Chains A and B, each alone.
Chain A
Amino acid sequence: MKRLFFSCFLLLFGIQVNGQSCGDNGYWKIGSQFGTQRLSSNCGDFICHGFAAAYWENGFTSGSSLNPTTPGTVNVTAPYTFSGGFTDQYYFQNSNKYIQVCNQSLSNVDVITQVFGSNPGSHSLVRDKFTSISPKFISKYGTESPVIGHKFDSTLYELNNASKTEPDKYYVYVANLKTTEYLPKDQIKTISLLSKSGVTYSWSIVGQTGIVSFTSPSNGASISIKGDSFGTTQVKVTISGCSGIPPKEQIITIIVPAVTISGTYTTSNSTNHTLGNGNQVTSGNVSTYLNSSPGVSNYVWQRYQGNLSFWAHTNQMHFTMQSGNYVSFRIYARSSGNDTLAVRNVTYYNYGSFSLYPNPSSSTISIKSDYEGIMDMELIPLSTISKMHTFKVSSDEKVELKELPRGEYLIVVRIGEDIVLETRLLKNE
């Protein structure tokens, strides 16, 4: 009984000291003499193929980390588990997330598949993604081994002198496109695969034309697409690696949703102004209400110019305009899935007070304003038949009137398309 108790104690003690429950290092040839390192304490429900796919496709469960100093628990998510069916040795050959490349250095390779006869059969190993110069590799051997880091030619099979029966195949991981992407009209979006050496990319529109257009070269790993008109189309990317190996294809559906952002705003002394891209508003409270639109779940207001504080809740936004100030917003119309369906930029501005002085005047006039930009001034004769005069002026800049005949004039001052001052001027001798 004592002996049994002692044996159990030693066994438990051994497990605690090692912190490892998956095989002994001797069997798996783990150690510096083999150029290998243990990277997990457990075995886990995954084999080499599932591990390799999970490694590149973020398929590890939370908490998994490959740590050579203190190996921890490493597990993969459901699609990559062995019991869940991830046993396919041809995964990398068939998946369009990977493409076989040739004549590449090991530094540029992500997955290597090897065949050691019928038994032990095929093996997939991955390049340690944190190593590119003198790259290291990572292997898992069936369900009963830990994850092991090693030099390229130091798999367990090679350390055991197993014979290869097929040449190694090198693959790179290019990731995959989303199934569907929303692209607001007149907006540009970048769609990307991973850029890998030895791979060529070719993008084309395979659905309805005229919906989107490319705004960047179509032979890179990424493409910029602009939404030209409402509708749905498909964009295809063809990925090629080794010559003689069939290229892979991925297709993404692009939807340019028929959604526009519109609404009205009220100021402290007027209501129901149609919301424009530029909105001159009076000082005081300004409230904007957006119209509902099919497919739009909520609106997001993002201030990108100005510093006025505001309060927004989906389709309504409120702020207090100050004299001579401005604020610009980018409004996003979002779907229930948080896709951006439309984008619109709107600006609210107030030029402050404008006045003409001196009036009457016989020599010069000026505009008094807080506005610091250039204004367009028009002098329209009211009492004589003479032509209209236009000037570009800034605040307090003097406009010479000596050459003008005496009489009444209408002064119109504009900033852009907005009339900011209309007043009569009396010209003396």
Chain B
Amino acid sequence: MNKAFLSLLFLSFLTSEVFSQQKIMEKIELGFSGGLAVPIGHFKAISVAPSLEPVPPGSKPRRFQGFLKNEGGQAELGYSLGLNLTYHATQSLFVSFNYLQTQHSIDTRPHQIFYDTNFKSDLDLNGNVFEVPGRLESDSYRANLFYMGLGYRLLFNRLEVRFAGLVGINNLEFPFYSWTYQISETTAIPLRPFPIDGPVPTDLREFTYGFEAKLAYPLSQKLNLNLAATYLRSDHPHEYWTNTLAASIGYKIQDEIRYRNLAVQFGISFRFEEKNKKDQIQ
């Protein structure tokens, strides 16, 4: 409902008046940006418990069932790259079409520490201690966001301040991972997402929304230097099986990645219309 409402709200602003000008190119601004991708909230939080084997109340789990993210994405500080096309409908209103790519590595250390502390050592039938070293490896979060912005621009001398609301699609690549258990000196078995009654997810495509604040400073008649803070959020529910090669251990995982990212970027934008001319027109 929220998604539909937000989308309709955006479209309602895109009246024919906005695009009624003949010289469209003169109102277009093309920009590139890059910077940090700062995970926020759930996306950054650390949570080991959901990854543990589910057990009846009162009993202790004996292993990990996977690497779940629904209570903590464990995303680390990453980077972002952006591309945007802005159409200045009026002196104040603008519409932007944006692409943002973010990448965050995933912090596996909390799980690794938990494993080493709780599951690594065991006693054999003779009471002798033996160890099964385990290692968690994970791909990074790679998000590809396509979104549209509807914004308002304020001018303070030469400095522009822009605010925009954003809606779009976040095509988040499923971060594949694997636990590897060294069950003997010669043999290791992996536990990893595995297709059992359906494919392992690859692209987790979901609705995203957020807002952006941008400072634009003109370097020349056509070039702007931008500093932008872009917050985007999206929820990516998904399910898959984890399976352990050569062991009868498998779990059906229902998980959700709650993407919450603040992209702090510097950028350059190119305006096809000269700034002083534009101001005369206005």
Contacts and interface: CB of A to CB of B under 8 A. Distances in A.
Contacts of A87: 248, 250
Interface residues of A, number: 34
Interface residues of B, number: 31
Contacts of B243: 142-144
Contacts of B220: none
B250 A160 contact: no
Contacts of A161: 184-186
Contacts of B125: 163-167
Nearest to B189: A120
Contacts of A165: 122-125
Contacts of B123: 165
A48 interface: yes
Nearest to A47: B248
Contact of A119 (B183, B185, B186): B183
Contacts, number: 99
B250 A142 contact: yes
A141 B125 CA distance: 22
Contacts of B187: 160, 162
The majority secondary structure among interface residues of chain A is loop
The majority secondary structure among interface residues of chain B is loop
Contacts of B130: 117, 163
Given A82-B196, A164-B125, A48 B119 contact: no
Interface in A107-130: 116-124
Contacts of B249: 119-121, 142
B246 interface: yes
Interface string B44-76: 000000000000000000110000000000000
B132 A121 contact: no
A142 B132 contact: no
Nearest to B197: A83
Contacts of B247: 119-121, 123, 141-142
Given A87-B248, A143-B196, A165-B124, A118 B185 contact: no
Nearest to A163: B124
Nearest to A28: B246
B181 interface: yes
Interface in A121-151: 121-124, 140-145
Interface of A: 28, 45, 47-49, 82-83, 87, 89, 116-124, 140-145, 156-157, 160-167
State the 3 A-B residue pairs at the shortest beta-carbon distance, nearest first.
A120-B247, A47-B248, A83-B197
Given A121-B244, A123-B248, A142-B247, 12 more contacts: A45-B196, A118-B63, A120-B189, A121-B249, A122-B248, A140-B248, A142-B245, A142-B246, A144-B245, A160-B187, A163-B130, A165-B123
